[in-house]
Amino acid sequence: MEILYVFLTGLSVGSFLNVCIYRIPRGESLVLDPSHCPGCGELIKASDLLPVISYFLLKGRCRDCGRRISFRYPAVELAAGLFGVMLFMKFGTGLEFFKYAMLVSVLIVIGMIDLETGEVYTSTIAAGAAAGAVFAAIAPGTCADSVLGALTGFAVIAAIALTGGMGWGDADICLLCGLFLGVRCTLVMLLVSFIAGGAAGIFLITSSKRRLNDSMPFGPFLAVSAIVSLFFGNSIVSLYFNMTA
């Protein structure tokens, strides 16, 4: 029963994350403006705002104008619900659950906005970093590790950004993630993101979908890699040391 409650709560959180993903790049209020169709401007009825369910009941289209609704909406809601359950199963409902639920929520927003617009917004980074700093300060024995993780993540990407190979927004994402993950899991995040980003780049180039000098948003790879590191980072580090011992 607890898992179901966590899942349903996660779906609702995912609905709000969709609002953030759509409105932040447009400079719209996250709380004052009622939900409306971006095509016809009609207000969306409460019965059409049920996470996931409403999308399929409406067959992926606006009730008033018939404009297609992006599949991103139910996908984000489902992802938030499933990650909520995974966090609950790993951490229970203590401080760590809320800490990492915040991280995952911010990463979903940052990753999806970067994927859709190619931009990383300072307001989102600042909000996430502020939350990470608070958790680092109140969680016993984690402050130094969080600061070192943030500095490590930022420094690695900043060194690449100085050459023009990556954007400063990517460095900001790594600073944010380091505050939550600490240095070991931040290093795992960087490794996984470079492998995943490199593999995706090679695939896109060899399939003629992207040219060698085309830019590619790296935020989504950092977001996914940070979540992978959150759940499996310590196990990956332990496996590495066991193999090299």
Q: Are residues 86 and 165 in the same domain?
A: no
Number of domains in the chain: 2
pLDDT in tens, the chain (245 residues): 889 999 999 999 999 999 999 999 999 888 878 888 888 878 888 888 889 999 999 988 998 888 899 999 999 999 999 999 999 999 998 899 999 999 999 999 999 999 999 999 999 999 999 999 999 999 877 899 999 999 999 999 999 999 888 899 999 999 999 999 999 999 999 999 999 988 888 887 787 676 666 678 899 999 999 999 999 998 988 887 778 76
Both tokens of residue 220? 């989504």
For residue 10, with 0-12 CB atoms within 10 Å meaning exposed, 13-18 middle and 19 or more buried, which class applies?
buried
Residue that the structure tokens 């402050």 belong to: 143
Same domain, 54 and 124: no
Residue 126 and residue 29 share a domain: no
Are 152 and 218 part of one and the same domain?
yes
- Phi, psi (5° rounding) for residue 61? -140, 155
Last residue of a domain, one of 48, 77, 93: 93
Q: Are residues 121 and 2 in the same domain?
A: no
169, 51: one domain = no
Closest by alpha carbon to 52, among 24, 79, 20?
A: 79
Residues 150 and 240 in one domain: yes
- pTM here is 0.93
Q: Are residues 164 and 182 in the same domain?
A: yes
In terms of domains, do 53 and 78 share one? yes
Whether 207 and 111 map to the same domain: the answer is yes
State the residue range of the domain holding 224. 94-245
221 and 125 in a common domain: yes
